[in-house]
Structure 1
Amino acid sequence: MPQLPDDLDAVAVRTWCSLALEALGREREEIDAINVYPVADGDTGTNLYLTVESATAAVEAVFAAHETGSLVAGRADAVRAMAHGALIGARGNSGTILAQLLRGMAGVLADGGDAAHLRTALTRAAAAARQAVAHPVEGTVLTVATAAAEAAERAEGGITAVVGAAYDRARTALAATPGQLAVLGRAGVVDAGGRGLVTVLGALLEAVSGQAPKRTSWAVEPGMPAGPADDCAAAEGPAFEVIYLLEARDEAVDRLRTRLDGIGDSLVVVGGDGLWNVHVHVDDAGAAVEAGVEAGRPYRIRITHFGADRVHAQAEPAQRGVVVVVPGDGLAGLCTEAGATTVLARPGEPPASGELVDAIRRAHAREVVLLPNDATLRHTAGAAAEQARTEGVRVAVIPTRAAVQGLAALAVHEPDRGFDEDVVAMTAAAGATRYAELAVAERQSWTMAGVCQAGDILGLIDGDVAVIGSEVPATARTVLDRMLSAGGELVTLILGEDVPDALADALAEHVREGYLAVDTVVYRGGRQVAPLLIGVE
């Protein structure tokens, strides 16, 4: 067996991420099952998996960028990508803390990957994670991280010895958590977040040593002696979990921490350099988001109702569900009312496969129809479907390329008929819907309709520029005329956030006057990429 280099280089970081993702994939359900703190919602393992999946994807992107060039991916690029990927993909309390741990390590490992740097990295990570949590509690992942760091500081030898010592001490600390936190002792479980960290450290040990650590059973006798009851979460906590990414200055984030700490609990704010991940449990989700707006620019906002999740966890799965990717919050509300589970795609931020897998799980159904509504998401949706199938969910991906096609498919969805029959009907409805959108040209460029200048209004039909105009109303009328020249029975208009209702009224009147027996429906899309989306069925 070749000797492993005693340095955590870029390849070792890549291997670590891959092994951690694989290990969390195996143990996700077991970790979910023991999740009782801070909220017994059974998602710690899933959140850790999705966080590491995002970190892994970021590292893979670094390696892919170097494959076509002469340069080799460096350790600094790899560890920074890992930390950034975890930050933007962090889920839940546990995932957010893990993101801060990785960020703390990356700040040191970017300068070196030997044993001395690794000792400092683990110490810096544990301190950063504690600082990110508003009210640290012992018997949690923070305790496990601190114990691992202390063991690493005392360890002698190379990186394998340092990581081995940290891993062994983390396991010992994890086994002691039921005696530190009353809710764990009563339930007879170790801390779920701490167990996830042990899994991640075990993957690091395998990456540097070449040998996988033995799996451990973490069974605990229920009702064992535990720490004071006031250390545990109250039986009735806040109703909502709110998570968002935030672009803001440090001083604004300090004020945000103070405000959120006053209206909620389980507050964790991680990040830096202008980009932050905010996690909090509150009763007033709107107030938490408004606080983010006052601090900077929040996006990728996720709000989870704990009560709804607990009901879902106890109920029998539905026979069939639909997951829809939508480009605006207005459409998200519309699809939710129709019974679909939605994933919001922000401008320039397409959802990762992990987000789609998470949505499939949230659909809580044995059969799921996935509507990506974007041609560029075809492979992402396919990967999500494959992952969900390994978990026993039957998934069909309908290759919708626009939101209007997704709406057409959702309109004919009938969960009471056979799965294959339903998928065929939805696919046919989507395929019979032509789609268009209006966009503003950002720069001078060549198009299929000629040369456009910055600021021109572009009318794209089925993905190609077909019309170049100077104003939205006239361009929209021309696009409609071209689409309806081939026939149609129904026109769907989806208005962007800043588009006035008068435009929809004028276009509906244009259709009524020029095309007999063609109906028009109008929806508000909210914040979306295009000012106007058009569908013709």
Structure 2
Amino acid sequence: MSRALQPSEELVELDAEAVRSWCARTLDALGREREEIDAINVYPVADGDTGTNLYLTAEAAHRAVEAVFDVCEPDTAETVRAMAHGALVGARGNSGTILSQLFRGMAGVLAEGCDGDHLARALAEAARAARQAVAHPVEGTILTVASAAAGACAAGGGLVEVARKAHDGAGTALAATSGQLAVLERAGVVDAGGRGLVTVLGALLETVTGQAPPSPVTAPAAPAPREERCPTEGGPAYEVIYLLEADDAAVELLRARLDALGESLVVVGGDGLWNVHVHVDDAGAAVEAGVEAGRPHRIRITHFASDTEAADGRGEPAQRAVVAVVPGEGLAGLCAEAGATTVRTRPGEQPTGDELVDAIRRAHAREVVLLPNDAESRQTAVAAAERVRAEGIRVALIPTRAAVQGIAALAVHEPGRRFDEDVVAMTAAAGATRYAELAVAERQSFTSAGVCQAGDVLGLIEGDVAVIGEDLTETARTVLDRMLSAGGELVTLVVADDAPPELAPDLERHVRRGYLAVDTITYHAGAGAPPLLIGVE
């Protein structure tokens, strides 16, 4: 942690250590005020988690900054970019997603300079970028507070002067939010997201002056008890958030599609990486839209309220099936035991659209969950789903990119639940599973891990070659260690018939010895599968 300023000291320019300090102070402040902010969260959904989401977003930003300092002595530009990137990747909820875009907007200007004039310009760019990211901006929210902060210091000045004007302007705007939104006025509170932004700007002011500003006004009057508040009624049932790798043109189409599907749409990011947030009734369709736009991952789906009615509205479970694409006869049998209709493939092959359509029809169900289990098959799966929807079959495509993700989804599948709830649970399970595969190189080639020779063992993590080795077991251990370095609770091993017989037992012992809290489960893929598939949940 950087040196704390004495109360008599003031900064004239933000350097890398000051930005680091700002991140740490923001995290500390949001940690202290998280419960208070949660307690006043009534818009856009009264789910009481805005403070928590802002804290988790700030934690991701802080973690990214600390990671940069762990490996080098970064300059200011590198530090602010790390802060923005960390917030983008770790953004949670509506307000957290907007906060990440505010950081991103500021980073672009602060990378050029960090005096008072640059800070004023950075705040203006942040407010503009955040409004542009929200499909339908609403006054009386964090956007209003951000614009007020930028407007208060538009004339520029010294760093301390700008930081103080921005904080004061944001605080004044925050107090007025209760009169701008009826739901806030009924609850007797100010906007929770705006309240969090004032806290972030307060941490900045403390960073440049060495003195903590007074806490902002939370409510113009005593807030009503939580159970008496008036949340927005009739809103969508699910919050869907995911990271998306896609180009700008695809994201513009995605915005239009998600805007038609739901509300509270926020799409932030750029340079090929985006954070997508939307409230919808059809969570599967929101995820599928991401699949069509690019590569979604880190998918998080939250059900706002419990609804136990059956999918057909008559209290009876709808007829449902799962169609899974799997390599190897052993996996096909395993998935069939779990109730899935399977499409078998060979390593390196993808199913055709006709094969997927035929499998969906063979399932004889009104509702079908489709698990392609291969990143290369997603467009084929999207097209197949569209074909059978024209026949009146409801299809949800879960963008599983490996068989182990499909296994994780099947493990939580419950036909008796409402269709959307089942899709949410299966999508969350698949999205929480990192995957790897071991293969044997057929020829010399260039990979992301270097040049491999024919016969080398390749360890692919999330589709990219990460390890090149000579021995299958040693390479598998290395891959496991890399995956578990990021944490995990359950390792799934899927072993082909032609793999060495001691491979699975050796890896199970390796996990038990090195990772005491991690469980291991092994499946046999049978013939026609890659030597080893690994999943880490």
Provide TM-score, normalisation by structure 2. Answer: 0.63
Once the two structures are superposed, what CA deviation does each residue of 1:298-322 show, in whole Å capped at 9, x if it has no partner? 1111111111499xxxxxxxxxxxx
Question: Deviation at 1:73?
Answer: 1.6
CA distance in 1, matches of 2:147, 2:291: 34
Unaligned runs of 5+ in 1: 67-71, 225-231, 311-325, 349-436, 486-490, 508-529
Residue 153 (1) aligns with residue 154 (2): yes
Aligned to 1:254: 252
Runs of 4 or more off by more than 2 Å in structure 1?
Answer: 1-5, 219-224, 326-343, 345-348, 437-446, 450-457, 459-466, 476-485, 491-495, 500-504
Determine the structure 2 residue equivalent to 1:50: 56
How do 1:193-204 residues align onto structure 2 when only pairs under 5 Å count? 193-204=193-204
Q: Which residue of 2 aligns with 1:346?
A: 434
CA apart distance, 1:32 = 0.8
Partner residue, 1:210: 210
* Aligned partner letter, 2:432: L
Task: Tell me, yes or no, if the aligned pair for 2:43 and 2:184 is still in contact at 8 Å.
Answer: yes
1:34 maps onto 2:40 in alignment: yes
Partner of 1:303: 301
Q: Quote the residue 2:127 is aligned against.
A: 126
| Alignment: residue pair count | 379
1:276 corresponds in structure 2 to 274
Deviation string, structure 1 residues 467-496 (Cα, Å, up to 9, x no partner): xxxx943215353587899xxxxx95347x
Quote the residue 2:522 is aligned against.
493
Assess if the C-alpha contact under 8 Å between 1:126 and 1:149 holds in 2.
Answer: yes
CA distance in 2, matches of 1:483, 1:35: 47
Could you tell me whether the CA contact under 8 Å between 1:242 and 1:304 is conserved in 2? yes
The answer on whether the counterparts of 1:493 and 1:533 sit within 8 Å (CA) in structure 2 is: no
- Structure 2 residue runs without a partner (length 5+): 1-5, 225-229, 309-401, 415-424, 442-446, 459-467, 481-494, 510-519
What is the one-letter code of the residue matched to 2:273?
A: L
Q: Is the 8 A contact 1:185 1:222 kept in 2?
A: no
**1:451–1:247 CA distance, 2 compared to 1 (3 A):** closer
AA matched with 2:124: T
Q: 1:384: which partner in 2?
A: none
SS in 2 for 1:281: strand
Deviation at 1:141, TM superposition (A): 0.2
Q: What is the aligned partner in structure 2 of residue 179 from structure 1?
A: 179
Question: Which residue in the other structure is 2:80 paired with?
Answer: 79
Deviation at 1:79, TM superposition (A): 0.4
Report Cα offsets for 1:34-59 as digits up to 9, x if no partner. 11100111110111011010100111
1:237-296 deviation line (CA, Å, top 9, x unaligned): 001100011111101110100010001000000001111000000001111111111111
Name 1:14's counterpart in structure 2. 20
Q: Matched residues in 2 for 1:99 and 1:7: separation?
A: 22
Kindly state the Cα deviation for residue 99 of structure 1 after the two structures are TM-superposed.
0.4
SS in structure 2 at match of 1:154:
coil
Range with greater deviation from structure 2 (300-309 or 198-207): 300-309
- Structure 1 counterpart of 2:19, one-letter code: V
Contact residue 264 and residue 281 of structure 1 kept, 8 A: yes
CA distance in 1, matches of 2:217, 2:256: 40
The whole-number CA distance in structure 2 between the counterparts of 1:303 and 1:492 is 26
Matched letter for residue 19 of structure 1:
R
Normalised TM-score (structure 1): 0.63
The answer for the alignment partner of 1:115 in structure 2 is: 116
RMSD over equivalenced CA pairs, Å? 3.8
Superposition deviation, residue 333 in structure 1 = 4.0
**For the Cα contact (< 8 Å) 1:246–1:277, is it kept in 2?**
yes
Following superposition, the deviation at residue 234 of structure 1 comes to 4.2
Q: Work out the percentage of aligned pairs sharing the same amino acid.
A: 60
Give the alignment of 1:120-519 within 5 angstroms: 120-154=121-155, 157-221=157-221, 234-308=232-306, 328-330=404-406, 332-333=408-409, 336=412, 344-347=432-435, 458-459=472-473, 463=477, 472-479=496-503, 492-494=521-523
Distance 2:223 2:80 in 1: 41
